[in-house]
Structure 1
């Protein structure tokens, strides 16, 4: 999922061809014309079908991107969540908008991205008006407003950790809902209070719009079963010291699982839950492939049986999001 997912869809959607080593030793191409069933299954299906030795990506004309990351006080969570939902809905009319909202200890970081040059009178000025207006109080800027490229954005957001720590993640997908966002925040503040010292629990709201899902369909489709609707791919993250003991490890993992379960329960109660789980953001114990829907699981199993009837990849791989664990 890139910074501007509504323009071109997911990274998997941009693959034009896979070169794949099959279980019987053959090397084949998988694309829209050769082995198209394998091609579709690889676009989101993980390591269940072969060893990808090469992939060719679709490219696009280089475009400028205006980006900034502003910081807000969590005390303004209701206004921040309202602005997040408003910008998400604006994406439905303008796929050049990109956004993330991250709630962390003592600060909310909001990343705002817009494809193309964006001056004071540009579309981006109105797109992010809910944040620039009289709603939440900005407390600082982590990344000043810059006009660059996706590469310069990635470089600006990248940071080295002097002391690598431990990390656990989980993912949930929901529809856009200001009410849900507020309820999640309230549950998060209660859960954080139970964590050991040095353990941080934070979460990110990452929007995907209808245009992003449709962009994938326009590029031949994928196996992920995405619903063409404005939605949020939640990333729930726990981070703690590498030197922490097993008791802290257990508490951190438990907090991430609990957070994931709470978001899902709140979304189900509010009628805004979606089954999809993004593999990149999912925890090891989540049933990612099953979240693609029963029909797509059937398709993946058919492809796996066709290209390695002995189930080599299910037997020889220690773990991962495998079809053997999809039920």
Structure 2
């Protein structure tokens, strides 16, 4: 697969990843190389990456604990302190190898340490390959509120090697697929139709689908890097999806949801709301719901929990002037941004999902 060049970085795939990495290291003469991992990527992914690196620079490994619960400023402070103790300077390089937590947090650490050092993302989950690693969004959560602190800052390179997917559990693969399904719904029938029978998808199909999803996101963020218009469409399903994810994260009696699991629910809800408010065909909403539920199952959300979930919407990063802004569909591939939705319609959407 050909590399994809953006205005700010280059995304390399599979066989070109490591030759491109080594060329970059040679050309930039970094003083030290730091590799950020969690306990899972330290065990399963670092042994794939390390033998590929050709450099005379000192390499240091920094490990953080895995999981969204650790995507916090406190974790950043730990990494900043470690970088300082290990004498990182402004010519150091940080390589983030992991899923969205690692690439989001590691990117934020890099672009704030000493007012900015270079970094490279090596996404190892399907979700991070098609979403978190592309577009320059970095940041951390505030408590259980998602992505409240961060900056937009692009890595030097993104290295997408699908060999890392061999280390993933099935639920992690499904979580990543949710973002690809979203790309289909907001982009058009050509890409969406490739997912209409999920039972026919195989690992052999993934390389091409990942490449297409990366292109979709790249084209959107290049046109609107700071989310003033078109880039908002990438949040389809995320307004309620993030609220559900945050709610489940904050309640000890709830099983924490993966990002994609919450977004799938958010997309079903958004399709229902689209049918009610923007003329999205009801038949298409029903087909999408059946497809998603058949593959992901259903999560249980009691009516008594809905007010607290709806209250979390006020923290959504797309909001302005006190308004909660939804992305809705008029048709597959035809989006409408900055839609205001009454709470009663949201409640009806949850009832549609439950039934």
Q: Which of the two has greater helix per residue?
A: 2
Q: Which of the two has greater strand per residue?
A: 1
TM-score by length of 1: 0.29
TM-score by length of 2: 0.28
- Higher relative contact order structure (alpha carbons within 8 Å, sequence separation ≥ 6): 1
